[in-house]
Structure 1
Amino acid sequence: MAGATQIDTIELKSTPVLAKVFAGAVASSRGRTGKAGLPDLKVRQTGVTIDVNALADYDHVCGFPLLNELPITYLHNLVFPLQATLFADKRYPFPLMGSVHLSNRLTQHRPVLLSEELTLETWAENARPHRAGVQVDVLSQAFVGSELVWEGLAVYLYRGQKIAGEVPAKVDTGDGVEGPGAIWRLPGDLGRRFSRVSGDVNPIHMSGLSAKAMGFPTAIAHGMWSQAAMVAALDARLPAAYVTEMEFRKPVNIPGTVTFVAHPGGQDGSWEMSLRNLKKGTELVRGSVRALS
């Protein structure tokens, strides 16, 4: 939160009920135009412990083994209620409903153990123009004591919103890795299944009918399910400390069939990944893993 002179902090005593938070965010969405700018506002929760049953359910939906170490994407799952609290606050200028998760970068400084107690923090910064609206960086951190163990940077797009500034030109980044891969058949209830373990009940993920009401032709998988499933497919090959980045390039329609492609990048534990439409070969999600030195 560079340049902030005073930061207001929302201290959560317990994990909020996301259905209530979403309902409040939806009810207050009308009239949020972004004109006031992002507030110097942080959400913090201390004393966070892991519910083993909730973790097991998450691992089952995403394909992780149940281990004594938390999946890197599960830390995002833990901070998501803080993000939702931030989005629902009346000082946050952009509407939650209809927002799109463009990309995600997660950093694991060391494995986080199931038994460790966490402090979580989330805030937003760097609102800037996008050709389809406004994009915002939502940053999150997890600490064990005073030790920073995990970081997240999620970029959200608020479609149809406007903000002062020059819209950056679209950059052609070429195509990602391709070739033979694992074929994944995604069921129509995948969005509902992931919503139950993540709390993200955005209508674009829940059913074709609710997705159409939000301007999408069909339901789409959560970006965080895609990232989790792609990382889970490499679980046994991941370094202890690493960064994984995902760019959600096109919607992953559900039901549907996709191909997961992963190529090793060398001896440093790095990987390049793609999730592609099986029939057309279109790249839907581009990802990478890079070991921290």
Structure 2
Amino acid sequence: MTKVIELKSAPSLPKIFARAVATSRSHDDKGGLPDLQVVRRGVEVDPGALADYNHVCGFGLRDELPATYLHNLVFPLQITLFADKSYPYPLMGSVHLDNTLTVHRPIRLGEPLDLSTWTTNARPHKSGVQVDVVSQAHVGDELVWEGLATYLYRGQKIDGDVPPHPDETESPDGAGMVWRLAGDLGRRFAAVSGDVNPIHMRSITAKAMGFPSTIAHGMWSQAAMLASVENRLPDAYVATMSFRKPVLIPGTVRHVARQTGETWDLALRNNRKGTLLVRGEVSPIS
């Protein structure tokens, strides 16, 4: 039987992060993912908080919620799940590999949302174990948004064979928008998202986790890339982002967007070397 944790209000993310770190040290049994779901009902978005988020990510000010802001709302549910003693993998050092957001229709500011999240499909990865985190948002009985986030837990083990890497089409390159990312970008995004993972906050903590310097949040990258084409997106779409290499801050990146038919191909690259950092695609739902 599925265990359900129902949150009555927004939790304190710093406290949950601390609990997730503490509980992860005692996880010895990697027998499988728990049958656990975290929910929060009747969530109403604060217009001021939305405006602050839009400012940091580059979205315009309007009464429609960006697809990535829905991830922002379910993120505390995800961390609550990761902090549960039944969850077998440690939060610290985990890496967000891929993120797929499905918008079924525009979601307006003021619509009360019922949110839920759970995990599935733990499987081997060449560097550890990857897990899918599924999230949904309903307005009443209507499913309006879905999220599928894939996390890598480095150094962990699970039975099975590492699946082959799928073939991919070429990522767009060439001229694009050049963004100069300030060293405090991680702290500014943390202030509007609640994601206070130390790898995004200070260089010294990022280095302690094995990164060369502070790295930008993957969800900031996805948000900024979607914000660049937000006025040309359909009402219903699927946006997939694959986070290939860390976006180091401070730094300079180049965002390339190419449209083929109704599909957008997006890429975020190191501006000097051209290295692909984030690859994205946005397709309409017919």
TM class by smaller structure: over 0.9
Query: Equivalent of 1:286, from 267, 279, 282?
Result: 279
Q: Look up the match of 1:208.
A: 203
Query: Equivalent of 1:93, from 53, 69, 88?
Result: 88
Bigger drift between 162-171 and 197-206 goes to: 162-171
Q: Look up the match of 2:11.
A: 16
What SS does the aligned partner of 1:87 have?
helix
Following TM superposition, by how much is the alpha carbon of 1:135 offset from its aligned partner in structure 2, in angstroms?
0.1
Instruction: Write out per-residue CA displacement over residues 125-166 of structure 1, whole angstroms, 9 at most, x where no aligned residue.
Output: 000000000000000000000000000000000000000001
Q: Matched residues in 2 for 1:34 and 1:225: separation?
A: 33
What SS does the aligned partner of 1:28 have?
helix
Q: Look up the match of 1:275.
A: 268
Instruction: Write out per-residue CA displacement over residues 221-274 of structure 1, whole angstroms, 9 at most, x where no aligned residue.
Output: 0000000000000011011110100000111000000000000111x3x20000
Cα gap change, 1:34/1:161 in structure 2, threshold over 3 Å: closer, same or farther? farther
Query: Equivalent of 1:160, from 144, 155, 164?
Result: 155
The answer on whether the counterparts of 1:101 and 1:154 sit within 8 Å (CA) in structure 2 is yes
Q: Look up the match of 1:50.
A: 45
The answer on whether the counterparts of 1:34 and 1:161 sit within 8 Å (CA) in structure 2 is no
**2:229 equivalent to 1:234:** yes
What SS does the aligned partner of 1:113 have?
coil
Q: Look up the match of 2:126.
A: 131
The answer on whether the counterparts of 1:103 and 1:248 sit within 8 Å (CA) in structure 2 is yes
Q: Matched residues in 2 for 1:179 and 1:211: separation?
A: 31
Query: Equivalent of 2:168, from 154, 169, 173?
Result: 173
Following TM superposition, by how much is the alpha carbon of 1:175 offset from its aligned partner in structure 2, in angstroms?
3.7
Q: Matched residues in 2 for 1:142 and 1:189: separation?
A: 31
Q: Matched residues in 2 for 1:229 and 1:138: separation?
A: 22
Q: Look up the match of 2:109.
A: 114
Write the letter of the residue equivalent to 1:135.
Q
Instruction: Write out per-residue CA displacement over residues 63-120 of structure 1, whole angstroms, 9 at most, x where no aligned residue.
Output: 0011111001000000000000000000111000000000000000000000100000
What SS does the aligned partner of 2:162 have?
coil
Count of aligned pairs: 286
Q: Matched residues in 2 for 1:84 and 1:162: separation?
A: 21
Following TM superposition, by how much is the alpha carbon of 1:173 offset from its aligned partner in structure 2, in angstroms?
3.0
Bigger drift between 84-93 and 161-170 goes to: 161-170
Same amino acid, percent of matched pairs: 66
Q: Matched residues in 2 for 1:205 and 1:45: separation?
A: 27
Which 5+ residue runs of structure 2 have no aligned equivalent? Answer: none
Following TM superposition, by how much is the alpha carbon of 1:168 offset from its aligned partner in structure 2, in angstroms?
2.0
Q: Matched residues in 2 for 1:7 and 1:107: separation?
A: 25
Q: Matched residues in 2 for 1:73 and 1:111: separation?
A: 13
Q: Matched residues in 1 for 2:26 and 2:132: separation?
A: 21
Q: Look up the match of 1:3.
A: none
* Length-normalised TM-score, structure 1: 0.96
Q: Look up the match of 2:33.
A: 38
Q: Look up the match of 1:80.
A: 75
Cα gap change, 1:19/1:285 in structure 2, threshold over 3 Å: closer, same or farther? same
Q: Matched residues in 1 for 2:82 and 2:74: separation?
A: 13
What SS does the aligned partner of 1:230 have?
helix
CA RMSD of aligned residues (A): 1.0
Q: Matched residues in 2 for 1:121 and 1:44: separation?
A: 4
The answer on whether the counterparts of 1:206 and 1:219 sit within 8 Å (CA) in structure 2 is yes
Which 5+ residue runs of structure 1 have no aligned equivalent? Answer: 1-5
The answer on whether the counterparts of 1:34 and 1:94 sit within 8 Å (CA) in structure 2 is no
**2:51 equivalent to 1:25:** no
Q: Look up the match of 2:257.
A: 262
The answer on whether the counterparts of 1:33 and 1:162 sit within 8 Å (CA) in structure 2 is no
